[in-house]
């Protein structure tokens, strides 16, 4: 009886061991098959862009100082990570936007921006450096960027971006990453992307506008509030504590509404000279901030008054001109 139980136990262990090894082998094969499938089916696109700002911020007080200036939470920013946010003035108006990246050295930070000049960001910060140990260095002219778009972009960059820095971007609603690197390594980076599809700046802008993502400071600037451009939730922390413009942001959140809103628009023909006033019934109801042309007309971003704009009527570019500008839902 005991011998039978021993045989049964040994047989069970043997079967389970074989089954476990088989499952492990199958799992590995499935993982390899998935990786091969993604590698073969991946369709990435990329676009080269000129960096607006790439600034190193160092010094013993760098991290603490930036925490009190940036609209988003920077505490606990780990190496290799980034955060998107804004630089505001005392009235809560948008002076600039960008990404803050953790550096390789403890407390070191890198500031990146698509369109905001480094000089403007540095001037905004320098105005509030009093007794802080903070040093800023502008490397913008020595670096460049490439936006990589498509499912699997982050995984591809992790495996292939051996120079520079990578971080999630804000170009489209789908997966998109930024790769910034020294200009001197451009040939190496281009070689990595030789089998991918390049798109131009206009196409990238068209997709950004289609996603309703503002370009700061063109679409959203010093006369505008973050929430007017739809950035209240993505660029602002309402729990981090004090930073420049924080009190205004708290009041706006409590109110729950704004009087203006950045909207997507489209119209026939070429892009008008911007900024351009937008009219309804001989009353100015907004301003076209930016646009990009296409085969069937142009698309753009416009700041509209929610008080005066009649949502069911098109807009005109002149007081008594034809109403041909449509607002996208």
- Residue pLDDT, tens place only, 129-161: 999 999 999 999 999 999 999 999 999 999 999
Instruction: Say yes or no to pLDDT of 118 above 60.
Output: yes
Which pLDDT belongs to residue 264? 99
pLDDT band, very low/low/confident/very high, at 256 (cuts 50, 70, 90): confident
Q: What is the chain's mean pLDDT, rounded?
A: 92
Q: What sign does the CA torsion over 71, 73, 75, 81 have?
A: negative
pLDDT of residue 38: 44
With 70 as the cut, is the pLDDT of residue 17 above it? no
Sheet with strand 94-102: strands edge to edge: 82-88, 94-102, 109-113, 53-58, 135-138
Residue 11 pLDDT more than 70? Answer: no
Task: Name the pLDDT band for 12 (thresholds 50, 70, 90).
Answer: low
Q: What is the C-alpha to C-alpha distance for residues 167 and 77, in angstroms, rounded to an integer?
A: 13
Amino acid 24: pLDDT: 59
The candidate with the shortest Cα–Cα distance to 143, out of 182, 189, 98, is 182
Structure tokens at 177: 């990453």
pLDDT of residue 20: 56
**What are 269's two structure tokens?**
């023909």
CATH number 3.40.720.10 given to 48-210: no
- Judged by DSSP in three states, 306 sits in coil
Average pLDDT (302-329) is: 96
Reply yes or no on whether the pLDDT at 62 is more than 80.
yes
Q: Global pTM?
A: 0.86
Q: Where is pLDDT greater, at 77 or 12?
A: 77
Is the pLDDT confidence value at 41 over 70?
no
| pLDDT of the residue at 26 | 55
11 versus 155: which is more confidently predicted?
A: 155
Report the range of poorest mean pLDDT among 69-78, 143-152, 237-246, 249-258.
249-258
The domain ranges of the chain are 48-210, 259-329
pLDDT at 74: 98
Distance CA 317, CA 103 (A): 47
- The CATH class of 259-329 is mainly beta
Percent of the chain with pLDDT over 70: 87
**Nearest-CA neighbor of 149 among 108, 196, 96, 79?**
196
Average pLDDT in the 15-30 region?
57
* Whether residue 67 has pLDDT greater than 90: yes
Lowest model confidence (mean pLDDT) among 26-40, 44-58, 85-99, 286-300: 26-40
Assess whether pLDDT exceeds 60 at residue 14.
no
- Count CB atoms within 10 A of the CB of residue 45: 19
């Amino acid at each position: 009886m005991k011998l039978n139980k021993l045989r049964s136990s040994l047989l069970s262990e043997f079967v389970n061991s074989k089954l476990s090894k088989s499952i492990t082998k199958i799992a590995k094969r499935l993982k390899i098959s998935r990786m091969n499938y993604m590698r073969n089916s991946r369709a990435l696109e990329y676009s080269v862009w000129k960096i607006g700002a790439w600034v190193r911020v160092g010094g013993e007080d760098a991290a603490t100082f930036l925490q009190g200036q940036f609209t988003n939470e920077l505490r606990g920013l780990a190496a290799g990570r980034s955060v998107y946010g804004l630089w505001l003035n005392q009235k809560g108006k948008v002076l600039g936007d960008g990404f803050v990246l953790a550096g390789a050295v403890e407390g070191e930070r890198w500031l990146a921006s698509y369109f905001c000049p480094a000089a403007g960001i540095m001037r905004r910060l320098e105005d509030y450096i009093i007794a802080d140990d903070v040093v800023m260095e502008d490397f913008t002219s020595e670096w460049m960027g490439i936006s990589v778009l498509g499912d699997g972009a982050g995984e591809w960059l992790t495996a292939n971006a051996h120079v520079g820095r990578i971080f999630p971007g804000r170009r489209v609603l789908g997966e998109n990453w930024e790769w910034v690197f020294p200009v001197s390594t451009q040939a190496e980076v281009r070689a990595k992307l030789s089998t991918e599809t390049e798109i131009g700046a206009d196409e990238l802008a068209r997709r950004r506008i289609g996603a309703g993502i503002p370009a700061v400071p063109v679409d959203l600037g010093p006369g505008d509030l973050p929430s007017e451009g739809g950035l209240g939730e993505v660029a602002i922390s309402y729990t981090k504590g004090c930073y420049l413009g924080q009190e205004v942001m708290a009041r706006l959140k409590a109110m729950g509404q704004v009087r203006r809103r950045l909207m997507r628009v489209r119209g026939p023909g070429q892009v008008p000279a911007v900024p351009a006033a937008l009219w309804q019934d001989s009353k100015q109801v907004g301003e076209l901030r930016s646009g990009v042309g296409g085969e069937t007309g142009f698309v753009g971003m416009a700041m509209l008054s929610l008080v005066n704009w009649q949502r069911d009527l098109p807009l005109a570019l002149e007081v008594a001109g034809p109403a041909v500008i449509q607002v996208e839902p």
